[in-house]
Amino acid sequence: MKRVIEVMVGPAGELKIEAVGFVGADCEKATAFLEQALGIAKARQKKSEFHQCHQGKHQLTIGT
């Protein structure tokens, strides 16, 4: 699967970052630069794939 980092901006300016195609903690490493540049994470969701050895997703929400 191709590795992609999706950044979505909501109408109130909130950001949602989703790492697709990354294995385990690689998604956190891949999105760390965005979290550092954009501010403190309001919420973080680790999907079930995060704990598997297969490709998974990681979702991070920053802002209001």
DSSP one-letter code for 20: E
Query: For strand 41-46 and strand 4-9, is the pairing parallel, antiparallel, or unpaired?
Result: unpaired
Helices (H), the chain: 26-38
Q: Are 55 and 49 in contact (CB under 8 A)?
A: yes
**48 vs 56: CA distance, rounded Å:** 8
pLDDT in tens, 35-64: 889 887 788 887 766 766 544 455 666 775
pTM over 0.75: no
Higher pLDDT, 32 or 42: 32
Lowest mean pLDDT among 2-6, 14-18, 46-50: 46-50
What is the C-alpha radius of gyration for the chain, rounded to an integer number of angstroms? 11
For the chain, the domains span 4-62
